[in-house]
Amino acid sequence: MAIAPDRFGHFAAIDWSGAVGPRQSGIAVAICTQGSAAPTLITVEGGWSRAAARDWLADTMPRDTLVGLDLGPSLPFVDRGAFFPGWSDSPADARSLWALVERICADDPHLGASSFVDHDEVARHLRRHGGRKGEFFDGRGRLRVTEEAQRRQGLSPTSNLNLVGAAQVGKSSLTGMRVLHRLADRIPVWPFDPLPPHGPTIVEIYTTIAARAAGMRKGLSKIRDGASLDTALAALGSAPHVPLARYDDHATDAILTAAWLRSNAYRPELWSPTAMTPHIAQTEGWTFGVS
């Protein structure tokens, strides 16, 4: 798929969080323009909340932005022909899944997803804290087709059905689905929506892909100082960043991944992954950068 060289003028990355509470220290937002200037962090007074991030996406973000969200926008489907095999209310596609999460979690504050995690039918497929593992949670948990492709690229994805451990992304994914549901008809989400000829577009990102592209070795994909960040940015064709008051994984992941998006947004093979069928696109989605 050919992409017009001026299709996007801005590139943003959001490191997401599934944490409990009104503000999430794990949310970080970085943005850059075309060219080589380093991405900059966007901050809000009091820190980001999921609702504030949703509002920024819907109302404040430049309208020519390609934005990557570091979360899984769906759950495994293809391997068993359903998100939740054996449950009559199991959704038929990703957008129906987002709507289901929103409906069950309507009373959860701060766009949380605790009610969905604890739902009797859903919990049967999850690994939760306290040693609680549903009878349908096998091994390390089911993976989406794009996550199996990540493994073939030497990455180490974690099942979105696993909610335990430092590497888990299940909680972030479920809270992110509520945000995506609320952005319906406002911003296209690829590949559930085709890439439109103009306007903003959301894609799923995996920050480790950016780290690998910047030359960081497996197991050393987190940056916690300015010099290391500038070295990684230079590998992606970016100028040095404006020094930060505090360096943490969330801020540096967002900055580096925004620069990676800018340097890879026009690779046609990333918009047409060979293993992504129309069925996969509508049920499981795809991680941008996995070809």
Q: Report pLDDT for 217.
A: 81
Rounded CA-CA distance 241/230 in Å is 6
Q: Could you give the number of structural domains in the chain?
A: 1
CA-nearest of 261, 258, 262, 252 to 289 is 261
Does residue 286 sit within a domain? no
The mean of the pLDDT values for the chain is 95
- The pLDDT value given to residue 222: 82
Distance CA 50, CA 29 (A): 11
Q: Could you tell me if 126 and 134 are in contact, meaning their C-beta atoms sit under 8 angstroms apart?
A: yes
Q: Is 51 helix (H, G, I), strand (E, B) or coil?
A: helix
State residue 5's pLDDT score: 84
Whether 116 is in a domain gets the answer no
Q: In what order do the strands lie in the sheet with 28-33?
A: 40-42, 28-33, 10-15, 65-70, 201-204
In a domain, 228, yes or no: yes
* Helical residues (DSSP H) of 130-248, grouped into ranges: 145-152, 170-182, 207-213, 226-235
Confidence of residue 221 (pLDDT cuts 50, 70, 90): low
pLDDT at 172 > cutoff 80: yes
In a domain, 254, yes or no: yes
The answer to whether residue 178 sits within a structural domain is: no
- pLDDT tens digits, one per residue of 54-96: 999 999 999 999 999 999 999 999 999 999 999 999 999 999 9
Residue 32: the pLDDT is: 98
Q: What percent of the chain has pLDDT over 70?
A: 99
And the tokens for 19?
């944490």
Tokens 């859903």 correspond to what residue? 122
Range of 32's domain? 10-73+183-271
Q: Is residue 38 part of a domain?
A: yes
Task: Give pLDDT tens digits for 33-51.
Answer: 999 999 999 999 999 999 9
Average of pLDDT values for 241-252? 94
pLDDT at residue 165 in the model: 85
Of 288, 284, 286, 287, the residue nearest 92 (C-alpha): 284
State both tokens at 21.
């509470």
Per-residue confidence at 134, pLDDT binned at 50, 70, 90? very high
Please report which confidence band the pLDDT of residue 3 belongs to, taking 50, 70 and 90 as the band edges: confident
Residue 139: inside a domain: no
Residue 241 lies in a domain: yes
More confident residue, 260 or 4: 260
